[in-house]
Chains A and B, each alone.
With several copies, the nearest count.
Chain A
Amino acid sequence: MRVRILVSLKASVLDPQGQAVRNALHTLGYKAVEDVRQGKVFEVDLAGLSRDEAARLVPEIAHKVLANPIIETYAWEILEE
């Protein structure tokens, strides 16, 4: 099974990278771009797990390892069974 986990900064936390990207896009004339937030994505291959097992495992590793719960949140989805 392949899952995708998106990790992003909490809304109130400063995102200097996203800001820099937005400014660069503005400089290049892409004025339609109002805001950019940058995060991380993990694509994880899991072996021999049921859907339910994955639904227990993924939040656990996301919380414990992939995201820094103090400043980040995560979301996940199954890409392939």
Chain B
Amino acid sequence: MIDPNILSRHNLTPEEYDLIVRLVGREPNLTELGIFSAMWSEHCSYKSSKIHLKKLPTGGKNVVQGPGENAGIIDIGDGRVVVFKIESHNHPSFIEPFQGAATGVGGILRDIFTMGARPIALMDSLRFGPLENPRNRSIMDGVVAGISAYGNAIGVPTVGGEVYFGEVYSLNPLVNVFCLGLADKDKIFYARTEDAGNAVLYVGAKTGRDGIHGASMASQEFGEDTETKRPNVQVGDPFKEKLLLEACLEVMDRHLIVGIQDMGAAGLTCSTTEMPAKSGRGVEIDLGLVPQREAGMTPDEIMLSESQERMLIACKPERVEEVQAAFAKWDLDAVAIGRVTGDGRLRCRFHGEIVVDVPVSAVVDLCPMYKRPYEAPEAAPRPTETGRYPLPADWNGTLKRLLASSTIAEKEWIYRQYDHMVQTNTAHLPGAGAAVLRIKGSSKGLVMTLDGNGLYAHLDPRTGGMIAVAEACRNLACVGARPVGVTNCLNFGNPEKPEVMGQFKEVVEGISEACRTFEIPVTGGNVSFYNDTEGVSIYPTPVLGIVGLLDDMAKAVTPGFKAEGEAIILLGETRDELGGTEYLKVIHGREEGAPPGLDLERERAVQETCLEAVGLGLVRSAHDPSEGGLAVCAAECAFHGPGGIGFAIDLQGGHRPDVLLFAESQSRILVTSKQEDIAKVLDLAKERGVPAAVIGRTGGASLKFSLEGRTLIDLPAAEAKTIWMNAIPEYFKISGETENGR
């Protein structure tokens, strides 16, 4: 009855099918096959990635929960923990940008509050094709509106994020969403059923035919027929999720439940197998009791629906009524659909008949793991020979073009649509660098950032992975915070292609090496494979989410210049490396060469210098050069300062002017200090062997760069700022163009 056609529709190989038959002890029926298909999909099983992910460092004295749960947990002292995680929603966002992104936010929020934490911050990492193309504009407009609609309504601030633009993302936008929650250490909840006899409750939205086979869809390439193959798109209901959030936190606060799991990918299937599997139990449910939005749903539709805003709860039988009353207060039903059993099987009844009877451990733990063939990427090309590129004739014009490039330009058009202040913890507004949140009732602060340059990882996967970690940590160091934990979202093409698997392996090893150097644990993450459309893979795009702690909020530093007449000091050094830079891409039209090199020890020394200088109160502003190099970095410091304080920087030779201005050499931080503190900062650098020099001073109304006294750039700060501010809004000026009637 199960023929190859059915198998391929379920995205299972004949070998996997044979294993299923052995594990179940007979031929599975279609519902059971659907269960295996979803849970053994790449998206849920990590069957291609697990052997590599094992290399990541996950331990540490503050780690309360590493990978393996809905989110990671780090102890931040005072009886409190932070719970955080990043997730991708790339495929759904391509199909329907608004709902895809919105439900991505809904999903990551549930991952956090299902553990007992109140979500206090969201961040988003986005990749789109160039905005010259109206299709890309419309995708971006929809994605941003979707994130905004969900996050704003539920009342969790979107405090930061990042966005890059590149042709490879035209047919495959990336939408990664990060969420962080705060919990009391003694009120953490896990996806467990505990003892046999416990009740199993279904809470939240009714089940409809939404996103059926979403998990296996995220585990397939998109082809031309994708448009027609669209499953039912899930629609997010942030209002319902807000009720669910409050009700769940209430039953947890009162310790009325023993375990809980959200229903995201693979829906009821995932929760009814993972929860008992983790407790070594089974579950028996009656599918007829599952609240349904549509008439005539079949057992496999009920089991595989990805309707949003639902949770599965296990509680002691004598608590059922109290739990139901707590949900009723929030106008939600909590329906007892079954109970925990001792036999380790998932058994589902439907109209009195048993329609599913499978061992949960087979579904959850016995998916075959693959060591997919990988092809080491070609050796990174030698450092680009800078001499091949003609020197620009017009330096002012070159800086202007870079400031107007979508990847560099101001992202206010995006973050103004996000409520980034609700919950009244946002101490530094979005715009530059890391997000900074105060913790009410404490002098400590939380700092967080997302980072990942896909072009670097494309040109040299290992270095790209390392740089993503280094840069994220550097962003924290600029504020004055030390990293405490890492989550990551690895966006790649088809893992069945050896070259993609090779990129994956290298990136993971790079991340791993950098995290070991910085001694930070990876507490979780997400892998999104099959980001290919019509056979073309995206650049390998690791996105690192790093969370840091500030001991004293009052000492936090921002990137904007503070006053005229202060010294501008460059920690670190600029090297002759133009490969992979935004400058090469925008001005010379090339995406090539080796990305900037990274010496992890040097990186550490530079960050330590900055951290110590901030701790001693010697630093007035700090910002690190990234896309666009030193020139763009200094310009941003000017733009973020009050009233547009300009600067004059005099560069010393040794390299071509374009290298000095626009190279993206790592391990550099631009700080400003009062005149009387210069020597102290330089001494701190010297102690750690970090090159450091005063390269200019703040003041005036222009952005001025000279090379050994000879003017290169002299641009009115106000004019430059206008270019940088208006670049993205210009694309969306024709109001409503991409509204799609919404």
Contacts and interface: CB of A to CB of B under 8 A. Distances in A.
A and B touch in the complex (CB under 8 A): yes
Interface of A: 7, 9, 12-17, 19-21, 23-24, 27, 38, 40, 42, 65-68, 70-71
Interface string B78-120: 0000000000000000011011000000000000000000000
B736 A68 contact: no
A12 B736 contact: no
Interface stretch (B176-184, B235-243, B678-686): B235-243
A12 B294 contact: yes
A19 B736 contact: yes
A40 B95 CA distance: 22
Dominant SS at the B interface? Answer: loop
Contact of A70 (B208, B230, B736): B230
B741 A16 contact: no
B61 interface: no
B135 interface: no
Contact of A20 (B230, B294, B739): B739
Nearest to B208: A14
A67 B739 CA distance: 10
B742 interface: yes
A77 to B, nearest CB: 18
Interface of B: 95-96, 98-99, 205, 208-210, 230, 232-237, 239-240, 293-294, 307-308, 331, 734-742
Given A24-B739, A42-B741, 15 more contacts: A12-B232, A14-B210, A14-B234, A14-B308, A16-B240, A17-B736, A20-B736, A21-B736, A21-B739, A21-B741, A23-B737, A27-B734, A40-B741, A68-B98, A70-B95
Contacts, number: 67
B741 A71 contact: no
B234 A27 contact: no
B741 A14 contact: no
A14 B294 CA distance: 10
A66 B740 CA distance: 6
Contact of A71 (B99, B205, B240): B99
Contacts of A13: 232-233, 235
Nearest to B735: A20
Name the residue among B230, B235, B239 with the largest chain A CB count within 10 angstroms.
B235
A-B pairs, 6 with minimum CB distance: A20-B736, A16-B237, A14-B235, A66-B741, A24-B736, A24-B737
B710 to A, nearest CB: 47
A24 B734 contact: yes
A64 to B, nearest CB: 9
Of B308, B735, B739, B741, the most chain A CB neighbours within 10 A belong to B741
A15 to B, nearest CB: 8
B95 A71 contact: no
A12 B208 contact: yes
